[in-house]
Amino acid sequence: MTSPIKPPEGNWWDQPINRRESIWLGIGVGWSVILFGWMSAFTRIGDQNPIGETYRVEAEDYRDKLQAYVDEGTDTEEGLVPPGDDVYIGAGQFYWDGLPVVLETGQEYDFHLAAYDVQHGFSVRPEHTLSKQINLQVLPGYEWIVPMEFDEPGTYRVLCNEFCGDGHEAMHGRIIVQEG
Ligand code: CUA
């Protein structure tokens, strides 16, 4: 059988490398080193890094903390008015503990997020533009404190956007934001 590809002739492997090829190889290696360094740097200085603080917490302890917070807050028809700047939210299969909550615009709140069982997704979306959203992961074993402020009054939906079991799609909550 004949091949359409001609076999190379002579001592083809022992040729000096073309200068251009060396230069491009050098650029390739240099660029890889820069990207490698940047990967490491970006996890430290990038804007995408999560803000706030995270603490280890047992689900039961977090449940107690949240209950104490609910007891201190004011229950209204629309939802819970928190006693201070802290807002506690617990994610469980398949509900948002602590919601609905009534907040004010122009005030910075410290959102405390933790899960009771499995990983959930905390997705906050204004009711009139559901495609506008922020999404955070809520993990069991950790309490994540995230500062948040609402600019516009309105109703914000809280949806779970991490598949967490049979009932995940029903995991809804609400944040009601009033003019402060
Ligand atoms: Cu909780 Cu999906």
For 85-96, how does the pLDDT look when each residue is reduced to its tens digit (9 = 90+)?
999 999 999 999
Work out which ligand 1 atom sits closest to the CA atom of 165: 2
Per DSSP bridges, beta strands 108-115 and 142-149 are: antiparallel
Find out whether 112 and 89 touch, Cβ atoms under 8 Å.
yes
Q: Which residues line ligand 1 (CB under 6 A)?
A: 91, 94, 120, 160, 162-164, 168, 171
Percent of the chain with pLDDT over 70: 99
Per DSSP bridges, beta strands 172-178 and 86-92 are: unpaired
Provide mean pLDDT across the span 145-159: 96
Query: How close are the terminal C-alpha atoms of the chain, in Å?
Result: 84
Work out which ligand 1 atom sits closest to the CA atom of 162: 2
Q: How does pLDDT run across 19-61, given as a tens digit for each residue?
A: 999 999 999 999 999 999 998 888 888 777 778 899 999 999 9
For residue 73, report the distance from its CA to the centre of ligand 1, in Å. 26
For residue 108, what pLDDT is reported?
Answer: 96
**H or E segment at 97?**
strand 95-97
Among the listed residues 116, 99, 117, 26, the one whose alpha carbon sits nearest the alpha carbon of residue 62: 116
Work out which ligand 1 atom sits closest to the CA atom of 93: 1
Query: CA dihedral in degrees (174, 128, 144, 111; nearest 10)?
Result: -60
At residue 119, the 3 state secondary structure works out as coil
**H or E segment at 88?**
strand 86-92
* pLDDT band (50, 70, 90) for residue 1: low
For residue 58, report the distance from its CA to the centre of ligand 1, in Å. 19
For residue 169, report the distance from its CA to the centre of ligand 1, in Å. 7
For residue 176, report the distance from its CA to the centre of ligand 1, in Å. 21
* pLDDT band (50, 70, 90) for residue 72: very high
Work out which ligand 1 atom sits closest to the CA atom of 171: 1
Distances from the Cα of 71 to the Cα of 66, 81, 85, 88, 132, angstroms:
9, 11, 15, 12, 32
Q: How does pLDDT run across 118-140, given as a tens digit for each residue?
A: 999 999 999 999 899 999 999 99
Within 10 angstroms of residue 76's Cβ, the number of other Cβ atoms is 11
